[in-house]
Amino acid sequence: MGRAERKAEAREEIVRREQHRERRRQISRILHKPATERSPGERQLLQNYGELVQELERQRQRRERLRGREQEVVDGTEILQKKVSELADSVREAEHMVIYTGAGISTAAAIPDYRGPSGVWTLLNKGQSVSTGDLSEAEPTFTHMCIARLHRAGLVQHVVSQNCDGLHLRSGLPRDATSEVHGNMYIEVCTSCSPHREYVRLFDVTERTALHKHNTGRFCHKCGGELRDSIVHFGERGKLAQPLNWVGAVKAAKKANVILCLGSSLKILKKYHCLWGMNRPSSRRPRLYIVNLQQNHSAQGLTKI
């Protein structure tokens, strides 16, 4: 094929794409009309392009599902009181209770969540910018302090958190009772030392790191090795023993007969099957309570608050 033919073919491809985009816009405008207001010609056009109509309809349904997940739903007073009473009874009677936490419990500390109405992913999907303050100034919220108090009272045995803000440790929750499975933005690690040497900072250690690039630019005072952050990025498999503490998380999950999830859509955490006891017989699976304003997936033995 000569140069002229390639150019002609490229022009034809551009024309075809533009025609397809214009057809999509035309069909979309018709679909936005009530069926009773469509002209005979418009109805015929929808029939002629049935596959395109189905594609646009699937996209519309997907957008509606996403909007539904972003909406915050609050139970009525009587229903809420009944659910809270049931949860309180389960907490008191639990033999081994584990709490899973997400970004929702830190919004009161001015740290944005991800999928709420003003969450990070929600705003980015709308093309809006995300602004955050100095996270190092954030303090544990009322929820963090209550969880620490429940642990001291012997009512909670372990906390598994998706958050990297370090607020659970600041609340006084012991390290051995905490699994920060996505890391801690205030902890950097020397992996050259054996065992690994941790450095707990008062500042965000990730200021020089990036996606899949973990070196912080600082060095171990003992061996001189370069320090790395403890954050687990999307697509990565966290291998650090601490602060991830997967051993503690899995051990606690195996013993749990009550699981309380706070401030999480569970879109990520649900993928860790080892945390839910689903390999047990149905009669021995832990009772699951989810406290979250956004929509969550349904499951057997689940109470949504």
Give the relative orientation of helices 40-48 and 50-70 as an angle to the nearest 10 degrees.
90
Beta strands in 3-140 (DSSP E): 97-101
Q: Model confidence at 180, in pLDDT bands (50, 70, 90)?
A: very high
Q: Model confidence at 294, in pLDDT bands (50, 70, 90)?
A: low
State both tokens at 228: 């790395």
Give me the residue spans of the domains in the chain. 3-70, 77-181+245-304, 188-235
Instruction: Please tell me the pTM assigned to this model.
Output: 0.71
Q: Measured between alpha carbons, how far is 257 from 241 in angstroms, rounded to an integer?
A: 25
- The whole-chain average pLDDT of the chain stands at 85
Could you list the residues known to form a binding site, using ranges: 190, 193, 220, 223
Q: Tokens 């320090």 label which residue? A: 227
Predicted local distance difference test score (pLDDT) of residue 136: 72
Could you tell me the CA-to-CA distances from 229 to 15, 116, 171, 177 in Å, in that order?
Answer: 50, 27, 21, 21
Predicted local distance difference test score (pLDDT) of residue 70: 61
53 burial type by CB count under 10 A (0-12 exposed, 13-18 middle, 19+ buried): middle
- Which of the residues are catalytic? 182
Asked if 243 and 187 touch (Cβ cutoff 8 Å), the reply is yes
Q: What is the CA radius of gyration of the chain?
A: 25
Question: Chain-centre distance of CA 221, in angstroms?
Answer: 35
Q: Measured between alpha carbons, how far is 282 from 300 in angstroms, rounded to an integer?
A: 9
Predicted local distance difference test score (pLDDT) of residue 122: 46
Predicted local distance difference test score (pLDDT) of residue 121: 40
Share of the chain above pLDDT 70, in %: 86
Asked if 215 and 192 touch (Cβ cutoff 8 Å), the reply is no
Q: Model confidence at 188, in pLDDT bands (50, 70, 90)?
A: very high
Residue 3 pLDDT exceeds 50: yes
pLDDT tens for 18-62 read 988 899 888 888 888 888 888 888 888 888 888 888 888 888 888
Could you list the residues known to form a binding site for Zn(2+), using ranges: 190, 193, 220, 223
Could you tell me the CA-to-CA distances from 142 to 107, 153, 154 in Å, in that order?
Answer: 11, 16, 19
Asked if 293 and 72 touch (Cβ cutoff 8 Å), the reply is yes
CATH code that applies to domain 77-181+245-304 = 3.40.50.1220
Q: Model confidence at 285, in pLDDT bands (50, 70, 90)?
A: confident
Could you tell me the CA-to-CA distances from 54 to 38, 44, 64, 170 in Å, in that order?
Answer: 17, 15, 15, 52
pLDDT tens for 138-176 read 899 999 999 999 999 999 999 999 999 999 999 999 999
